[in-house]
Amino acid sequence: MQELYLARTLVVVSLLAGTMTAVPKADAQTMNQYQLEPGANGLELTVREVVQPTPDANEVLVRVRAVSLNRRDVYVKNRDTSRGLVPTSDGAGEVIAIGSNVTQFNVGDRVAGTFFKNFSGGRRTAEAIATARGGGSVDGMLAEMIVSAEVGLVAVPDYLSFEEAATLPCAALTAWRSLFVEGGLKTGETVLLEGTGGVSIFGLQLAAAAGATPIITSSSDAKLEQARSLGAVGTVNYRTNPEWQQEVLELTGGTGVDHVLDVVGQETLHRAIEALAFDGHIAIIGSLSGDADTLPLGRLPRGSSVTNINVGTREDFLAMNAFLTEHRLRPVIDRVFPFEEAPAAYAYMESGAHMGKIVITL
């Protein structure tokens, strides 16, 4: 029995050291999860064996099958100080157990976790925002199993794989909220997408499906070519054309764009404003170049608006899933990593070489 016990091991992976150490695995009632633990150069990803969670009367137990990464996950790993935090906000899997009071889900259902564990809809509150998965003190999805209240889950479209469904909770919903909820996107309007990361590519696909005219920027001509195959009508290489807003204006006949998804921040906001049309809308989403701390209100075109976006609600997620199903949209997945190579997935995200989404399978 002792030999059998010792033979059942799990792998502990250190992101910084790149080492693997055999640790005894206890019994069938345990599972593996990644935790952020202090290392020589800050927090590092470490696999831990923990007791398998059990849902209470109002909870659902989910076997996680896939997780996707967002830029936020890198920020949390590099800047957070939450020892033992389970990272990542986005994941999808199947229901394997339900509590006695659960009414919306059954064993076998395919579900995705919502970005916020407890934000069904309505006006944002500090309490709801504090339930964002994979940050602060709220554990995320990079685990073999998670428990969640019903409000923290949605059924995923039947035509999507677990890997595809795992990309939706943050990036796709952020693009959806920016364009349709805050921006009121209409057929025929123009949309400017910055770069080719997850939010921008989802924004491109959603805009094209809605009959809008997407224009996208990138430093890579190869990525711009791929973006055209996804529905981009105009493309601009911002590396070869640093004053890219002028080219965007030319593409719109001097009118400017109706919507901007600004994911870069400090280096792009003033150019985005120059490219904006009267009555246009800018969604402030990311800060890849640093926070845009100063908003030049006097330079905004008349009638325009700016919204500080923070993903969306469960109600938004359900509406987006209906739109995705109607148009049969499939997320763009750049690369898939196995669970054991999650640290490599993080490194790939930090490199910025990807287009679309990066996924980890379990």
Task: Say what percent of the chain tops pLDDT 90.
Answer: 77
Distance in angstroms (rounded) separating the CA atoms of residues 131 and 321? 22
Element spanning 262, H or E: strand 257-262
User: Angle CA(141)–CA(145)–CA(150) in degrees, nearest 5?
Assistant: 75
Task: Taking residues 294-311, report their average pLDDT.
Answer: 82
Reported as a pLDDT band with limits 50, 70 and 90, residue 151 is very high
- Least reliable range by pLDDT among 70-79, 191-200, 351-360: 70-79
pLDDT tens digits, residue range 336-345?
999 999 999 9
pTM: 0.88
Tell me the C-alpha distance between 359 and 147, whole Å: 21
E strand or H helix at 165? helix 162-165
User: Is residue 101 pLDDT above 80, yes or no?
Assistant: yes
The pLDDT of residue 333 is 98
pLDDT score of 311 more than 80? yes
Q: Say if residues 140 and 336 touch (Cβ distance below 8 Å).
A: no
For residue 50, which of 86, 76, 16 has the smallest C-alpha distance? 86
The CB-based long-range contact list for 220-224 (8 Å cut-off, 24+ gap) reads: 220/196, 223/196, 223/355, 224/196
Q: What is the mean pLDDT of the chain?
A: 88
pLDDT of amino acid 258: 98
* Residue 39 pLDDT level (bands cut at 50, 70, 90): confident
Distance CA 58, CA 279 (A): 45
* Domains observed in the chain: 2-167+331-361 (3.90.180.10), 172-308 (3.40.50.720)
| pLDDT tens digits for range 157-192 | 999 999 999 999 999 999 999 999 999 999 999 999
Q: In this structure, what are the phi and psi dihedrals at residue 340, rounded to the nearest 5 degrees?
A: -65, -20
State the pLDDT at residue 41.
73
